[in-house]
Structure 1
Amino acid sequence: MKIGWKKSAIVLFSAILLTACGTQNDKKPAGGEANGDSKPSEKTYKIGVTQIVEHPSLNAAFDGFKKAIEESGLKVEYDIQNAQNEPSNNSTIANNLVNSKVDLIFANSTPSAQSVASATKDIPIIFTSVTDPVGAELVSSMDQPGANVTGTIDTHPDAIPNTLKFMKEQLNIKKIGMVFNSGEQNSRAQVDNVKKLASGLGLEIKEAPVASSADVKLATESLVGKVDGLYIISDNTVVSALGSVVSVANENKLPMMAAEFDSVKGGALGAFGFEYFDIGYEAGQMAVKVLKGEKKPSEMPAQLPQNLKLVINQETAKTIGVEVKEDWKAEYSK
């Protein structure tokens, strides 16, 4: 089956870590001319940062965000707070950032964005690593966000269909296991979408919900013998414990596709995805426009990832006995 999205690509790697490369910001450094000179503004902006948990994808998104701010020439101070994957911490962090009167909030994940959006209708909020901002009630629509919130999302409309077709047609998988945190709206939305698309392809989805990262290994083991492949979405709880899933998958020769590249670096067989650095960078560009007074969040549509490609981990393929076919490049690079 040909993949119609023209910007897909395939990248094969073994023990090599991929380095994300963000697009260049074509804006001139901030500050402009003041009182006849061309020195940058001396104003220092305070950016509050809220992130649900430490894991490579979210960290890469924050790196991209900071890079865009750095390239803009703006002077900033960051107030960085991490919820350590404890939902109850999100509200506390949101209130802390609002009370400290930051100039802008960068919300890195759906739960983080939901908490700050509930805490303030005045401070500009730029999110990333959010899968369904409309369903999460962060924006009114992708094109017209409304209010004080906008940002970049961590899914592409072609990613799930491409993944399911690849699993069925290239890996001969019929039953797919999904481990996810059912308490995350972001994850529930992804799983429901996967199930809907899988049904049309004649694929069966087996769910293994978890409440915390401590449950991930046991939940993955519960799928052994019931499925012939795994699909790990961009679920913060599961990705933070990815090693447990990889060990079970490899031990049982189960091909595991993921939703993002950092999981492929961590041992998943492959992913149709994008660099989290890039969506963080794009969110940073949006934040620059807000801080410069060029745009309000309500005036900037929420953005899809700009680049989608297929990445295969050759070392994992060898471990589980999957042959990396040459024609994957031809079929999935359109």
Structure 2
Amino acid sequence: MKKTVSAVLAVITVIVSLFAFASCGNGGEKTVAIIQFGSHASLNNCYDGIIAGLKENGIDLDKYDVKYVNSNFDPSVSQSQAQSFVNGKAEIIIAIATPSAVAAATAAEGEIPVVYCAITDGSVMSNYENVTGSSDVPDFEKQLQLVTAFMGKKDLKIGVLFSTDESSSPLQIANLKKAAEAYQGMEILDSAVSDITTIDTKVNELIASGAECFINILDNTVVGKLESNILPITNEKKIPVFGSEIEQVKVGCAASASIEYLDVGRAAGKAAAEILSGKKASDIPVATVTEPHNYYNSKVCTELGLTIPETVSAEDVGK
């Protein structure tokens, strides 16, 4: 089994993916198709968890033709990849993140089981048949508790970026704002990103509007630009970014009340294993992972002048 990394450019991604579909069949073996919306640490952990979940639940992957593709955060690429898997009569499609899951379920039309992974708003899949999977639901109350503890104040202006391509992001923004109502004077400054190439501008606009720190929601398109576009700007201006999972803290966010994405992936892998073993997707409940764990990066906190709060129990991943 080989995990093939798709090309960086969307057009090349489609070409490489279609070539893979045409050339990688293994003598009649059943195909397990995996579509990952893009590459960043939490989605990569989902993939690793899926593979672990399949193996831990009795699936010998050497007996399957496992085909992996990456959409490079382009929904249209996910759609092309999903349709190619359907045309190739895949036994099952496992889709990581909402845009890939919607593309897979739309293309499959209920004829091929779809297992989704890391969908925050499960309602987006409610109109599709023959689907199940795992959901990641952020606990914004605990996230704000962590943010206020590290920032040393509660009347914060917090910047949040979200992509218009991510259907679950508006719900997350609404839930974040609701959680912020518990803090007098706290304001959530949200900014929609319709063109990812403008994300630098959006970050600077939020800072100009008074953002004292940033929070990442579970928005894969935005998180995919964390290291290359967001952190270079915020670090220069000494503005902390609080991540949505542990890997973001490892690469430069100050802290996070983090969902474990290996567990989210494992839950999806378990569901896929049950389907491959003969169970119907409709008989498998959606698994929801909600319980966060606190992490911080001591090196980043020192550079940003943040004091590690004694009231917070958290693991340092920045040593």
Shorter-chain TM-score above 0.5: yes
Residue 121 of structure 2 is aligned to residue 94 of structure 1: no
Q: Is the 8 A contact 1:177 1:227 kept in 2?
A: yes
Aligned mate of 2:66, from 58, 62, 78: 78
- Bigger drift between 77-86 and 234-243 goes to 77-86
Q: Residue in 1 aligned with 2:54?
A: 69
Q: Residue in 1 aligned with 2:143?
A: 163
Q: Is the 8 A contact 2:93 2:115 kept in 1?
A: yes
Deviation at 1:80, TM superposition (A): 1.7
In structure 2, C-alpha distance between the alignment counterparts of 1:59 and 1:170, rounded to whole Å: 28
Residue by residue over 1:102-154, the C-alpha shift from the partner in whole angstroms, topping out at 9 and shown as x without a partner, is 111101010111111111212111111211011x1x136xxxxx831111112
Residue by residue over 1:67-116, the C-alpha shift from the partner in whole angstroms, topping out at 9 and shown as x without a partner, is 22233242222122222222222221121111111111101010111111
Q: Is the 8 A contact 1:148 1:296 kept in 2?
A: yes
Q: Is the 8 A contact 1:155 1:304 kept in 2?
A: yes
In structure 1, C-alpha distance between the alignment counterparts of 2:72 and 2:225, rounded to whole Å: 13
Deviation at 1:169, TM superposition (A): 4.6
Residue by residue over 1:264-299, the C-alpha shift from the partner in whole angstroms, topping out at 9 and shown as x without a partner, is 112111111122122111110111111001x21111
Letter matched to residue 88 of structure 2: S
Q: Residue in 1 aligned with 2:111?
A: 122
Q: Residue in 2 aligned with 1:206?
A: 189
In structure 2, C-alpha distance between the alignment counterparts of 1:327 and 1:206, rounded to whole Å: 27
Partner SS state of residue 288, structure 1: helix
Q: Residue in 2 aligned with 1:184?
A: 166
Residue by residue over 1:48-68, the C-alpha shift from the partner in whole angstroms, topping out at 9 and shown as x without a partner, is 111211222111111111122
In structure 1, C-alpha distance between the alignment counterparts of 2:34 and 2:40, rounded to whole Å: 15
Q: Residue in 2 aligned with 1:25?
A: none
Partner SS state of residue 130, structure 1: coil
Q: Is the 8 A contact 2:30 2:65 kept in 1?
A: yes
Letter matched to residue 204 of structure 1: E
Aligned mate of 2:179, from 197, 218, 221: 197
In structure 2, C-alpha distance between the alignment counterparts of 1:44 and 1:155, rounded to whole Å: 36
Normalised to the residue count of structure 2, the TM-score between the two structures is 0.82
Give the root-mean-square deviation of aligned CA atoms: 2.1
Q: Residue in 2 aligned with 1:24?
A: none
Deviation at 1:212, TM superposition (A): 3.7
Q: Residue in 1 aligned with 2:276?
A: 291
Q: Is the 8 A contact 1:181 1:237 kept in 2?
A: yes
Q: Is the 8 A contact 1:49 1:78 kept in 2?
A: yes
Q: Residue in 2 aligned with 1:147?
A: 129
Q: Is the 8 A contact 1:161 1:197 kept in 2?
A: yes
Residue 199 of structure 2 is aligned to residue 216 of structure 1: yes
Partner SS state of residue 117, structure 2: strand
In structure 1, C-alpha distance between the alignment counterparts of 2:171 and 2:309, rounded to whole Å: 32
Letter matched to residue 139 of structure 1: S
Partner SS state of residue 223, structure 1: helix
Q: Residue in 2 aligned with 1:230?
A: 214
In structure 2, C-alpha distance between the alignment counterparts of 1:49 and 1:73, rounded to whole Å: 15
Structure with the higher fraction of residues in helix conformation: 2
Alpha-carbon spacing, 1:83–1:73, altered in 2? closer, same or farther (3 Å): closer
The structure showing larger relative contact order (alpha-carbon pairs under 8 Å, at least 6 residues apart) is 1
Letter matched to residue 149 of structure 1: V
Letter matched to residue 272 of structure 1: A
Q: Is the 8 A contact 1:139 1:150 kept in 2?
A: no
Q: Is the 8 A contact 1:213 1:240 kept in 2?
A: no
Residue 92 of structure 2 is aligned to residue 104 of structure 1: yes
Aligned mate of 1:317, from 292, 301, 315: 301
In structure 2, C-alpha distance between the alignment counterparts of 1:44 and 1:67, rounded to whole Å: 20
Partner SS state of residue 239, structure 2: coil
Q: Is the 8 A contact 2:150 2:308 kept in 1?
A: no
Q: Which runs of 5+ in 2 are unaligned?
A: 1-27, 315-319
Partner SS state of residue 65, structure 1: helix
* Matched pairs, number: 279
In structure 1, C-alpha distance between the alignment counterparts of 2:282 and 2:261, rounded to whole Å: 23
Letter matched to residue 178 of structure 1: V
Q: Is the 8 A contact 2:97 2:118 kept in 1?
A: yes
In structure 1, C-alpha distance between the alignment counterparts of 2:221 and 2:197, rounded to whole Å: 9
In structure 2, C-alpha distance between the alignment counterparts of 1:300 and 1:201, rounded to whole Å: 39
Q: Is the 8 A contact 1:50 1:112 kept in 2?
A: yes
In structure 1, C-alpha distance between the alignment counterparts of 2:44 and 2:220, rounded to whole Å: 12
Deviation at 1:201, TM superposition (A): 2.6
